[in-house]
Amino acid sequence: MTTDTNPIAMAAITSVGAAGMPRHHFAIFAALFVFLIAAPFLLYPIFVMKVLCFALFACAFNLLLGYGGLLSFGHAAYFGMASYVSAHAAKVWGLTPELAIIAGTLVAAVLGLAIGSLAIRRHGIYFAMVTLAFAQMIYFFSLQAAFTGGEDGIQAVPRGHLFGLIDLRSSEVLYFFVLAIFFAGILLIYRIIHSPFGQVLKAIRENEPRAISLGYRVNRYKLAVFVLSATLAGVAGATKAIVFQLASLTDVYWTMSGEVVLMTLLGGMGTVFGPIVGAAVIVTMQNYLATFGDWVTIGQGIIFVVAVLLFREGIIGVLAKWIRKPL
């Protein structure tokens, strides 16, 4: 699935600034950082943290879809399982929040390795169906397993003390912890995308047989990006469990997998900043339409249809075309 419009021409007109990052990217990251520092004083912190968790989730997903060209329809498995493990670790094992998040992330990575190594045996549509089916298996496992609490989920997860020192019960303090995780996550994704590894991924996305003929072990690259994506989705899910003090079946269900696809599609597949915008739009919509029940589902379906038919570059993709610079 390619969304870039003539990336070579775009790269040519892009000026490079500090740390090898194009100047306008650096400016956007800086502006985003300043905005997010100010955000908890302007907006409801819990809401912004929700956006940050989903934005990281969507960026992780976009690493796989936008740069690896692999449509996983089962990313809820990593997000949700990490959130269960992190909630369990914080509540039952009494781990500090950063250790609980690491535990959840590790489980997501292992799960990603197991499912990824099976799923990359098929291509295209089959890949999507295989990942969806495995995610449904994880959902049934979560429904039956004892530690997940079945329909109730894991409730009243303690936020705990960061490094055993800083009390996270205050949402303002927690916010800056979440912000640090979010920024570390998206900068890591940015680094992966712009590394030689990321360039090989794009080559595989554009023309797999040619990448094979050039001697790249395509399946290793695919598996690596799958595991990276699952791991970062796990970071997002584990953090969400600490923020909301809750891990539930919603996070592992296929609707969640669909939502992250929608966020990425709406924001712009294969763009750095698109998934963040997509996540912000979708979470805001869910927040304000929450009282309208199933109209949220209908609205999401309509956005899907419109985005696929008329708007395949996504919001940021259109913007990038407009200013003739990659975003």
Partner 1 sequence: MFELLGIPPQVLFGQLLLGLINGSFYAVLSLGLAVIFGLLNIINFTHGAQYMLGAFGAWMLLNYLGVGYWWAVFIVPPIVGVTGIVLERVLIRRLYHLDHLYGLLLTFGLALIIVGFFRQFFGVSGLPYPPPPLLTGGHNLGFMYLPNSRAWVIVASLIVCLATWFIIEKTRLGAYLRAATENPVMVGAFGINVPLLVTLTYGFGVALAGFAGVLAAPIYAVNPNMGADLIIVVFAVVVIGGMGSILGSILTGFGLGLIEGLTRVFYPEGSAVVIFVIMALVLLVKPAGLFGRSV
With CB under 8 A as the contact rule, the residue among 304, 318, 319, 325 that binds partner 1 is: 304
Whichever of 199 and 297 has its CB closer to partner 1, that residue is 297
- 283-303 burial code (b ≥16 CB/10 A, e <16): beeeeeeeeeeeebeeebeeb
With CB under 8 A as the contact rule, the residue among 129, 285, 318, 319 that binds partner 1 is: 129
Site for partner 1 in 230-259 (CB under 8 A): 254, 258
Residue type, 234: G
If one asks whether residue 144 binds partner 1 (CB under 8 A), the answer comes out as yes
Whichever of 143 and 184 has its CB closer to partner 1, that residue is 143
d(CA 132, CA 127): 9
- DSSP tag of 250: G
If one asks whether residue 297 binds partner 1 (CB under 8 A), the answer comes out as yes
Residue with the two structure tokens 């055993």: 164
If one asks whether residue 9 binds partner 1 (CB under 8 A), the answer comes out as no
Per CB under 8 A, the segment of 31-39, 78-86, 282-290, 301-309 that binds partner 1 is 301-309
Give min distance, CB of 208 to partner 1, in A: 13
Instruction: Please state, in angstroms and as integers, the Cα–Cα distance from residue 108 to each residue in 162, 228, 241, following that order.
Output: 22, 10, 14
Residue with the two structure tokens 């990038």: 320
Give min distance, CB of 246 to partner 1, in A: 22
Count of residues of this chain found to bind partner 1 when the rule CB under 8 A is applied: 43
Give min distance, CB of 136 to partner 1, in A: 5
List beta partners, residue 161: 167
* Number of CB atoms found within 10 A of residue 232's CB: 29
With CB under 8 A as the contact rule, the residue among 96, 105, 136, 271 that binds partner 1 is: 136
* Number of CB atoms found within 10 A of residue 128's CB: 19
CA 123 from centroid of its chain's CA atoms: 22
d(CA 155, CA 60): 26
Site for partner 1 in 57-96 (CB under 8 A): 71, 73
Whichever of 123 and 324 has its CB closer to partner 1, that residue is 123
Helices 45-62 + 218-244 axis angle, to 10 = 170
Give min distance, CB of 242 to partner 1, in A: 29
Contact flags string 266-295 toward partner 1, x per CB under 8 A: ---------------------------xxx
Whether the CB-CB separation of 97 and 177 falls below 8 Å is answered with yes
With CB under 8 A as the contact rule, the residue among 108, 186, 303, 320 that binds partner 1 is: 303
Contact flags string 97-126 toward partner 1, x per CB under 8 A: ---------------------xx-xxxxxx
Which residues, at least 6 apart from 170, have a Cβ–Cβ distance to it below 8 Å?
none
- DSSP tag of 154: B
What is the distance between the terminal CA atoms of the chain, rounded to a whole angstrom? 17
**Residue 22, token pair as written in the block:** 């194009």
With CB under 8 A as the contact rule, the residue among 11, 30, 37, 308 that binds partner 1 is: 308
Give min distance, CB of 75 to partner 1, in A: 14
- DSSP tag of 269: T
Tell me which residues touch partner 1 (CB under 8 A): 1, 71, 73, 118-119, 121-126, 128-130, 132-134, 136-137, 140-141, 143-144, 254, 258, 261, 265, 293-298, 300-305, 307-309, 312
